[in-house]
Amino acid sequence: MLSIQMQLHLIGPHPLACDEQGRQLTRIGTLFPERGVLYTRPPGVHAWQRLSFIDFINSQRADQGLPVLTPEEEEAIAAVDLVFEPDHLLIRPDPQRLDLAFEADEMLQTLVSKRQVQFLSVSDSRIRDALKRRGEYWRLCSLPATREGKKQLVLSSKVAINGLPIYYYNRLTGTRWLTYQEFENLGHIDDASLARHLQEIAEYSSSLNRLGLPEVGFFGADLQQFGGNDFAGVIYARLSSEQLRAKFNELQSRFRSAVHGAYLRDDLLDRSWSQRALETFFLDGDEAQIEQVMAGLSPEFYMQVQWLPGGRFEGGEFILDSIFDEAAARPADPDLQRLCDTRAKEIILNFIRDHGDLEYINLGCVPESLSLVRPQKEGRRAVYLVEFFAHNAIAPVRRVCRLQKWGVWEHLDEGKDLLRSIIESDDYTEYLLDRRLGCRQLGMNLSRRVVMHLLNEVYQGSNERLRGQTIRTTYFERDYVPGIATDKLPAERYTRPGYAVRLATLLGRVAASSIIVGRSLENARPAFDDGDEVVLEGNEGVPSDILVADHSGAFTEYTLPLERLAPDYARSVNIREAIVPKIVEFAEAYLAAFHDHFVEIQDEYRNRRRAFDNFFKQCKYDPAGSFAYRWECVLRRLDATNAEQLTEIIRRNIRVLNSNKA
């Protein structure tokens, strides 16, 4: 591999250089790794830059008395296409020559920080797998998640060739897209400028780039009605003013006729235009939902995962990503410090300790809850996703790691001393483990395994006396559940034969176990069907099971009669009124499953009362809220509840089953 110490010779402006108005001087670059040259001179067309560089070489050879390059020698010059954004250099790799892409990567790091160099075309499995094995998911470039981010992405994609920035540049395919509105606006410029732009469009719309795609395309146009051929055969600079304007008006009319009315105006606030624009300007047909494609993640994780630096394995040794060296040298850079997450690094090291023989590992963070309705609370909320592959394994393994909500750090922030913080953190860990055991005992369908781990971190919180102290932080590792959360199922699913009824049956069973253990958002409605319940689908595309991936909130409400909680369990039917074709059938299946599973759990307790009652006898018993006390209250409440009456309360709160009642 090329050493990053090799000097990179720049021909043209720096990739991130701007003019006095803050506009980038160049948006396109071509790097020639074997010659150590980055060519950035306009116009922004890779093919032109390659030809210009060959001319540059031949000029040098002529000065040295050498013959010009032969066609074979010209063809052998290897190049890597680059796209420049305001703060990033994007590499568009050739899947056949990934070695060149990685050489270019190391050379670009002599110009900018490694975090500013990213890779495009990750829908190609060869590129994706190469980066995955380097532990560099974090360097894959994808679309921003927010509406504002997408808007800025569209606006920043405007590029020029030789004239005005009238094209939207697709950094994946290399095609520059001309919209009808931008073409129409050319009618306001002077004749000489108009002639130059029409000639430019004529030349590049009939040219193909290295990928075999047009250099210039026409956004939203029917190619059978309008295309590069409409511009061909004319030397626009030779036309009189009247002829030029007549030709332009003709082209404008043909362009307009070929475009659907929704795409005539460049309107980021218009959903149809913006959606088509994102697909056309930034995807290559297979680039959508990269996060879930990369790691096999469920759709709700799309655009929510921030992949983080880790490292790669060479000769059995783990080589920490060099970006951590940069972070150590720049402790005052907050963005760099957030990217180089020390907790993530500790989690990776724990996986290496546990498994030892890994080929690669990638880790990402979901910093916010994916629940659509659950409010953000105090305490730790970050969740880490991990994918690793061990030697001789059949497939990659995926895990979810969640930091303990209340740990030593949080108790120190409350002003407590270190010993008290450690004790209270350990007590809470024990409570969480007991809570999981209690949920499983009472029929909740949980993920198969959960393992507790510790990581080291340096405390930097509000307790000034203990800042800089190394503390232990608890986190829990569980299997990744490869399904879709019940509250994020696409509407299309409910139209599949048998899907809705099967879902209702499984959902009713989960509802029964949830109400029994009193899953609740503090001082609010019960926590159910809002992101933690994951649907697994069978080969026929119909639900086969629902797992509770996270049982947070269990045993929070342990005193109120279940009849007080029951009305909220009608919500699962009510929120689906508009999307389930046979909502009454769905409601009846849900209620029947709820009743039957509640009775099943209740009978299990009554038949083995002594075993249940003694399950947590060895634990601390405190009416102030210890888990043993909560367990006792939940069992007593279960035994005292009438299943028929409880089900009837839910029924009375389902709108579709009561709409005809006076």
pLDDT digits (tens, 9 = 90+) for 3-15: 444 679 999 999 9
Q: Quick one: average pLDDT of 172-187?
A: 92
Burial of 633 (0-12, 13-18, 19+ CB in 10 A): middle
Tokens for 203, please give them: 């030349």
638, 609 contact by CB (below 8 A)? no
Is the pLDDT score of 289 beyond 50?
A: no
More confident residue, 56 or 315: 56
Is the pLDDT score of 462 beyond 80?
A: yes
Range with the poorest average pLDDT among 316-330, 360-374, 379-393: 360-374
Is the pLDDT score of 1 beyond 80?
A: no
607, 589 contact by CB (below 8 A)? no
Say how far apart CA 560 and CA 179 lie, in whole Å: 62
* Residue of 192, 269, 267 lying closest to 236 (CA atoms): 192
Q: Quick one: average pLDDT of 296-300?
A: 44
Say how far apart CA 580 and CA 243 lie, in whole Å: 61
Residue 607: what pLDDT? 96
170, 153 contact by CB (below 8 A)? no
Is the pLDDT score of 302 beyond 50?
A: no
* Residue of 130, 541, 124, 153 lying closest to 293 (CA atoms): 124
pLDDT digits (tens, 9 = 90+) for 19-73: 888 888 898 899 999 999 999 998 778 888 999 999 999 999 999 999 999 999 9
**b/e burial code for range 51-63 (CB count within 10 A of at least 16 → b):** ebbbeebeeeeee
Is the pLDDT score of 412 beyond 70?
A: yes
Domains and CATH numbers, the chain: 1-111 (no CATH), 143-288 (no CATH), 293-479 (no CATH), 484-657 (1.10.1070)
pLDDT digits (tens, 9 = 90+) for 563-611: 999 999 999 999 999 999 999 999 999 999 999 999 999 999 999 999 9
- Chain length of the chain: 662
Count of C-beta atoms within a 10 Å radius of residue 377:
12
Tokens for 351, please give them: 């996986």
Residue 373: what pLDDT? 46
Residue 195: what pLDDT? 95
155, 172 contact by CB (below 8 A)? no
Q: Quick one: average pLDDT of 96-113?
A: 93
More confident residue, 390 or 380: 390
Residue 554: what pLDDT? 92
Is the pLDDT score of 292 beyond 80?
A: no
DSSP state of 140: B
Burial of 583 (0-12, 13-18, 19+ CB in 10 A): buried
Residue 471: what pLDDT? 96
Is the pLDDT score of 345 beyond 80?
A: yes
Say how far apart CA 34 and CA 87 lie, in whole Å: 26
More confident residue, 629 or 539: 629
| Percent above pLDDT 90 for the chain | 61
E-state strands within 148-232: 158-159, 167-169, 176-178, 216-218
In Å, the largest CA–CA distance within the chain is: 101
Residue 283: what pLDDT? 65
Residue 299: what pLDDT? 41
pTM for the model: 0.74
Tokens for 230, please give them: 């409409």
pLDDT digits (tens, 9 = 90+) for 205-259: 999 887 788 999 999 999 889 999 999 999 999 999 999 999 999 999 999 999 9
DSSP character string of 500-563: HHHHHHHHHHHHHHHHHTT-B-TTSSB--SSSSEEEEE-TTSSEEEEEES--TTTTS--SS-HH
